[in-house]
């Protein structure tokens, strides 16, 4: 069968390969892949700066944002039928099966010895057929079939926002204003969800006001800020909840000027720039004097995928085509390489497996 593979740490190693069709074991389900989303992590694996093949392999099958149909059910699997539409979660429990992994919160793994489909020590879903442990599959209603490929990135946002609310139970908290830094796929999904939660939302990016990204922000009743025209520190507004989705140190630091009292900021990027922060004392004092909090969030678990399904149904009823508009490029498997080229105003590229 055909698969998209990469050989990290080799640079630009992504290619189409012929590999054996997987055989399922007890507790597993064979899936027929329908489509696959590509994100920054996939591109970084192709750039050779991320990704670890499974033991005994010199390549890794890519892909962690998938939509698939159940093709065959292994022994001791309950609750699934052939033909079910499903999205697999990404992370699997660590070798030690730590407290959090045992508790279904693999995203909060304590040891770091976890496995991640398509990223870390486990093949991904970018092949015609793929396999998942049935315990980590999420059933998707048929009516979400056109957009459910966005469920994995949406689960990242669901975790970030639900954790923010949970953390803020440290006091009486009634957030009114949210600021999302970065209006790419994650930032836009965050904007939509924060609007669903009834907040006044600002979303900022370097893209111009006429861009599709800006249009999507406005279409859900949020305000778009072009940071080239209005730098973040000139906004003159304060926010209760901030979500950093650019992965840029400079953007994250600028957003610290927007902290309201008792506010919370969730950072979602991988900040690879080696930029020194000479004002760290000021940053810390700002946190102390306002009871402010910054926290990081990575990965997501099944509960966040389930929150995502609930919200997708609500988004569909409130903003009919908004999720479809995030999918800006639909490619056939033969043209998959186009998804690894950045730019061109793309929000989300997906690859169809036919
Ligand atoms: Zn663990």
158-202 tens-digit pLDDT: 999 999 999 999 999 999 999 999 999 999 999 999 999 999 999
Q: In angstroms, what is the span from residue 95 Cα to ligand 1's centroid?
A: 7
Answer whether 73's CB lies under 8 Å from 82's CB.
Answer: yes
Q: In angstroms, what is the span from residue 298 Cα to ligand 1's centroid?
A: 14
Q: In angstroms, what is the span from residue 99 Cα to ligand 1's centroid?
A: 7
Q: 80 pLDDT band (50/70/90 cuts)?
A: very high
Q: In angstroms, what is the span from residue 270 Cα to ligand 1's centroid?
A: 21
Whether the predicted pLDDT of 261 surpasses 90: yes
Q: What is the mean pLDDT of residues 320-341?
A: 95
**Alpha-carbon dihedral 84, 86, 91, 97, rounded to 10 degrees:** -30
Q: In angstroms, what is the span from residue 265 Cα to ligand 1's centroid?
A: 25
Q: What is the mean pLDDT of residues 291-308?
A: 97
Q: In angstroms, what is the span from residue 107 Cα to ligand 1's centroid?
A: 8
Average per-residue pLDDT for the chain: 95
Answer whether 333's CB lies under 8 Å from 350's CB.
Answer: no
The answer to whether the predicted template modeling score (pTM) of the entire model surpasses 0.75 is yes
Q: In angstroms, what is the span from residue 73 Cα to ligand 1's centroid?
A: 26
Q: In angstroms, what is the span from residue 158 Cα to ligand 1's centroid?
A: 21
Q: What is the mean pLDDT of residues 122-141?
A: 98
Q: In angstroms, what is the span from residue 101 Cα to ligand 1's centroid?
A: 4
Q: In angstroms, what is the span from residue 94 Cα to ligand 1's centroid?
A: 4
Q: In angstroms, what is the span from residue 115 Cα to ligand 1's centroid?
A: 9
Q: In angstroms, what is the span from residue 136 Cα to ligand 1's centroid?
A: 15
Ligand 1 ion local residues (Cβ < 5 A): 94, 98, 101, 109, 111
Locate all alpha helices (DSSP H) within the chain, ordered by sequence.
40-46, 99-102, 151-167, 185-196, 212-219, 249-255, 280-289, 302-318, 322-326
**How far lies 247's CA from each of 112, 187, 272, 338, in Å?**
21, 11, 8, 23
Residue 213: per-residue pLDDT = 97
Q: What percent of the chain stands above pLDDT 70?
A: 99
Q: What is the mean pLDDT of residues 28-48?
A: 96
Q: In angstroms, what is the span from residue 120 Cα to ligand 1's centroid?
A: 14
Q: In angstroms, what is the span from residue 103 Cα to ligand 1's centroid?
A: 9
Q: In angstroms, what is the span from residue 46 Cα to ligand 1's centroid?
A: 27
Q: Give the closest residue to 303 by CA, choosing from 151, 196, 99, 126.
A: 151
Q: In angstroms, what is the span from residue 98 Cα to ligand 1's centroid?
A: 4
Residue 277: per-residue pLDDT = 74
Whether the predicted pLDDT of 246 surpasses 90: yes
Residue 344: per-residue pLDDT = 66
């Amino acid at each position: 069968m055909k698969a998209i593979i990469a050989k990290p740490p080799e640079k630009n190693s992504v290619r189409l390969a012929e590999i054996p069709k997987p055989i399922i074991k007890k507790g597993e389900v064979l899936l027929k892949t329908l489509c696959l989303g590509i994100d920054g992590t996939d591109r970084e694996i192709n750039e050779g700066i991320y990704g670890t093949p499974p033991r005994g392999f010199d390549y890794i099958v890519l892909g962690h944002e998938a939509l698939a149909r159940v093709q065959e059910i292994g022994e001791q699997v309950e609750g699934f039928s052939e033909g079910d539409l499903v999205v697999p979660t990404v992370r699997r429990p660590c070798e030690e099966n730590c407290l959090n992994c045992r508790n279904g919160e693999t995203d909060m793994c304590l040891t770091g010895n976890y496995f991640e489909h398509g990223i870390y020590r486990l093949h991904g879903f970018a092949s015609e057929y793929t396999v998942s442990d049935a315990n980590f599959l999420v059933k998707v209603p048929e009516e979400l079939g056109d957009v459910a490929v966005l469920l994995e990135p949406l689960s990242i946002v669901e975790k970030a926002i639900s954790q923010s609310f949970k953390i803020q139970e440290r006091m009486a908290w009634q957030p009114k204003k949210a600021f999302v830094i970065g209006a790419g796929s994650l930032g836009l999904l965050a904007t939509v969800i924060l609007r669903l939660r009834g907040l006044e939302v600002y979303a900022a990016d370097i893209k111009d006001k006429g861009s599709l990204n800006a249009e999507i922000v406005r279409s859900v009743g949020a305000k778009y800020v072009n940071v080239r025209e209005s730098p973040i520190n000139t906004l003159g507004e304060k926010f209760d909840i901030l979500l950093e989705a650019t992965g840029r140190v400079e953007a994250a630091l600028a957003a610290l000027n927007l902290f309201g009292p008792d506010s919370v900021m969730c950072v979602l990027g991988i900040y690879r720039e080696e930029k020194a922060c000479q004002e760290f004392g000021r940053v810390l004092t700002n946190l102390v004097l306002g009871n402010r909090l910054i926290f990081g969030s990575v990965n997501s678990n099944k509960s966040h995928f389930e929150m995502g399904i609930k919200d997708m149904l609500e988004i569909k009823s409130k903003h009919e085509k908004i999720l479809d508009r995030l999918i800006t490029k639909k490619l056939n498997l033969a043209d998959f390489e186009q998804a690894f080229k950045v730019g061109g105003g793309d929000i989300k590229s997906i690859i169809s497996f036919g």
